[in-house]
Chains A and B, each alone.
Chain A
Amino acid sequence: MKTDNSTLARLIEQCFDYSMDGRFSPAQQTNFLALGKRLRGCLVNLLSATFKDGTPQVVAANQAIAANNKTLSDAVQTLGKAGQILNNLDQLVGVLDGLLQLAAGFK
């Protein structure tokens, strides 16, 4: 099985979009840019990674990707909870980094 890379890519683009969005403070913009770059680093590795079917960590990671993407797609909600959302994204980077240790193969 694989991670949900299409949703992850949308999530990353959204991070970059918010880093150029004047509704967020310069500090928040800077954080979105940094997290977008780290998430993209994960994506580059995950694109070619395969995992054993049903790997619980991958299932959980895909749920986290979907949940973060859903939250992030709502700009107003993101504005109101920017601190918490940035924190969640930071945790997601950790989860995705951890997945690479479990990858069954790269192709």
Chain B
Amino acid sequence: MVARFVFTLGLVLVCSGCVTANFTKPVASLKQSIDTAGSSIGSYYTELNKYERDLYLEGVAYDPALRAEMMDANGNPTPLLGQKFSSESIKARMDAISLLGTYAGRLAELAGSDAPQKFSSGVTALGTNLYELQTTFANLGAGDKTAKNYVGPISQLVGVAGEMFLEKKQEDLVKKAIVQGAPKFNAIVDLLEQDMVGVIEPLRSTGLKQTLATRVNAYNNVDGHDALEERKKMTVAERRDVLNAIQNAADQYDMFVASNPTGVITGMRDAHAALLKYAESKHNPSDFSELLSAVEAFQAKVERMAVAVQQIQALRKSK
């Protein structure tokens, strides 16, 4: 009877203990993904002006009628030196991205620092104690004359329970940080999403399509006519060079579309929403698996985007 009580108590404590430890992995994973996403998304902001300059020079290169100028005929600055997007605006966005990373970092520190490790080892100790207790009870005679044998394990159990009480406080702190941080986090993510949908994606998608169309037209047409004679004069190797440039542009466009930066931001919001939901839940296994799914989905999107961003940068450098 006593054994069953102690065993049940132990199981309850072990299970409730898993709750605190459960924050550690998803929060650490979320932090890592937010850092990677921030780096990739940030590159779109920092490259805004450079991208427009590259595109301007690309247009000049393919059209001999165009001159490379700092100001156009109407006195407006061209992208050659003009800053279409102010450095203050770009810095504000970078600061916002950085803030998300800082928040995730603090959360990870809170959820995964020294205390949870102690807690984890406490759970292990508790399991060992329970096993030994079981063995002890199995060896007991019908008269249960060795009650003193479980005084030690129970006192250890009480000690672990006390530690769990402290960890529960820590769990509350993590929960509080998530709940209080959520509105700010969402506000920043909303801002980034608006920028991505309203500025970054329109600029990049039209810019990449313009590069592709410019290269294709330079190969196909000259002065509004089919450039058949010009193509005939080219060697196969020369045509291959031009077609490689077209392929490069097509690859960049495809990769940008596949990288789906807006989807990454949406995934960031979903993952944090799942964390908030979990923090406010009763921490059932289904709550936890829902959280893990959201974090993993976000992680997968971030990884795809990070790879695509690197490949696009490599393609831009190669031509």
Interface residue ranges, A against B (CB under 8 Å): 5-6, 8-9, 12-13, 16-17, 19-20, 26-27, 29-31, 33, 36-37, 40, 43-45, 47-48, 107
> Known: A29-B221, A33-B214. Contact between A16 and B209, CB under 8 A?
yes
CB neighbours (8 Å) of A40 from chain B are 206-207, 210
Contact in complex: B85, A48 (CB < 8 Å): yes
A interface secondary structure, majority = helix
Contact in complex: B198, A5 (CB < 8 Å): yes
Contact with A along B33-57 (1 / 0, CB 8 A): 0000000000000000000100000
Interface flag for B220 (CB, 8 Å): yes
> Known: A29-B220, A47-B199, A47-B203. Contact between A16 and B210, CB under 8 A?
yes
Interface flag for B179 (CB, 8 Å): no
Q: What is the distance, in angstroms, from A59's C-beta to the closest C-beta of chain B?
A: 19
Q: Which residue of B lies closest to A28 (CB)?
A: B224
CB neighbours (8 Å) of A6 from chain B are 197-198, 202
CB neighbours (8 Å) of A26 from chain B are 220-221, 224-226
Interface flag for B115 (CB, 8 Å): no
CB neighbours (8 Å) of A36 from chain B are 206, 209-210, 213
What are 8 A-B pairs at a CB distance below 8 A?
A: A5-B198, A16-B210, A19-B217, A26-B226, A33-B214, A33-B217, A40-B206, A40-B207
Contact in complex: A20, B207 (CB < 8 Å): no
In angstroms, Cα B220 to Cα A33, docked, is 12
In angstroms, Cα B84 to Cα A45, docked, is 7
Q: What is the distance, in angstroms, from A36's C-beta to the closest C-beta of chain B?
A: 7
CB neighbours (8 Å) of A12 from chain B are 206, 209-210
In angstroms, Cα B221 to Cα A7, docked, is 28
Contact in complex: A43, B202 (CB < 8 Å): yes
Mark out the residues of chain B between 189 and 220 whose CB falls within 8 Å of any chain A CB in the assembled complex: 197-199, 201-203, 205-207, 209-210, 212-214, 216-217, 220
CB neighbours (8 Å) of A5 from chain B are 198-199, 202
> Known: A19-B217, A47-B199. Contact between A13 and B89, CB under 8 A?
no
Contact in complex: B217, A29 (CB < 8 Å): yes
Contact in complex: B213, A16 (CB < 8 Å): yes
Q: What is the distance, in angstroms, from A98's C-beta to the closest C-beta of chain B?
A: 13
Interface flag for B105 (CB, 8 Å): no
CB neighbours (8 Å) of A45 from chain B are 84
CB neighbours (8 Å) of A48 from chain B are 84-85, 89, 199
Q: What is the distance, in angstroms, from B81's C-beta to the closest C-beta of chain A?
A: 15
Q: What is the distance, in angstroms, from A83's C-beta to the closest C-beta of chain B?
A: 14
Q: What is the distance, in angstroms, from A17's C-beta to the closest C-beta of chain B?
A: 7
Contact in complex: A9, B221 (CB < 8 Å): no
Interface flag for B59 (CB, 8 Å): yes
Q: What is the distance, in angstroms, from B257's C-beta to the closest C-beta of chain A?
A: 11
